[in-house]
Amino acid sequence: MLIQVITLFAEMFTALTDYGVTGRAAKNGLWQLSCINPRDFADNRLGYIDERPFGGGPGMIMQAPPIQGAINQAISRVDDKRVIYLSPQGLPLTHEKTIELSKRDSLILLCGRYEGIDERIMLTNDIEEISIGDFVVSGGELPAMVLIDALLRHRAGVLGDEQSAQEDSFCDGLLDCPHYTRPTEFNGLEVPPILLSGNHGEIAKWRKKQSLLRTRERRPDLWERYVLTPQETRLLNEE
């Protein structure tokens, strides 16, 4: 998978290319990153690409021509010409969207800085505007990195087999269950005995029940949409 990112700060993406499972996946050739700097398309020698907003107000706006130059270079290299713009005004990113994006052969991500980008870029290109949540950060790079990490986890070979199946956590619309490891006692707390029993059927039931209880307690929005099976209803109603 080729991921092209339009950004003023290419170095930030070493967090993905050089570390952890995404880093290993890059080393194994499962994905490739290519950054394009809009400054390379500035009309001035100093590479300024920001200007004051028409109509006044605080801050600066990224100018359309250097952004368009960067987009044109990116789309010239791939068949899929769609561009994803990370912005607080976008459609909320979901588990389902990360799966959809993971199936593409290539992606183009556009990262805004300053107060954002001249709107005419969005009006004259094939742009999907996506938000990672209802909060603001200083640039589109961290949201783009969140998106890349989340979608790479769905691609074959990025996670080990055991993990990829286990990723069902959000797949089934429930929060994950609690996890325990050695030592068996910590801060006066023992590990729940069922986890040491070796009874895999009972362990699976305990974990499912914990997921149900947590989701009901912490995420009423997910709980509302969750359809309980008869067996899950029984799990919740036992003492």
Cα(239)–Cα(229) distance, integer angstroms: 18
Q: Considering only 22-30, 42-50, 136-144, 188-196, which stretch makes contact with ligand 4H6 by CB under 6 A? A: 136-144
Task: Report in angstroms the alpha-carbon separations of 87 from 35, 37, 123, 214.
Answer: 19, 18, 15, 31
Q: How far is the CB of 199 from ligand 4H6 (least distance, A)?
A: 44
Does the protein bind ligand 4H6 through residue 164 (CB under 6 A)?
no
Short-list 36, 127, 38, 47, CA closest to 86: 127
Q: Does the active-site annotation cover 40?
A: no
DSSP assignment of 141-203: HHHHHHHHHHHHTTSTTTS-HHHHHHTHHHHTTSPPPP---S-SEETTEEPPGGGGS--HHHH
Is position 190 annotated as part of the catalytic site?
A: no
Residues 63-102 that bind ligand 4H6 (CB under 6 A): 86-88
Whether 66 contacts 42, CB under 8 Å = yes
Q: How far is the CB of 66 from ligand 4H6 (least distance, A)?
A: 16
Which C-beta is closer to ligand 4H6: that of 66 or that of 215? 66
The alpha helices in 44-119, defined as continuous H runs, are 64-76, 95-102
Instruction: Rule CB under 6 A: say whether 138 interacts with ligand 4H6.
Output: yes
Q: Shortest distance, CB of residue 131 to ligand 4H6, whole angstroms?
A: 4
CA-closest candidate to residue 37, choices 23, 48, 28? 48
Q: Out of 50, 88, 118, 216, which one is annotated catalytic? A: 88
Pick the catalytic residue: 51, 96, 115, 202?
A: 115
Q: How many residues make contact with ligand 4H6 (CB under 6 A)?
A: 16
Decide if residue 132 touches ligand 4H6 (CB under 6 A): yes
Positions in the binding site for ligand 4H6 (CB under 6 A): 86-88, 112, 115-116, 131-133, 135-140, 143
**Residues annotated as part of the active site:** 88, 115, 153, 168
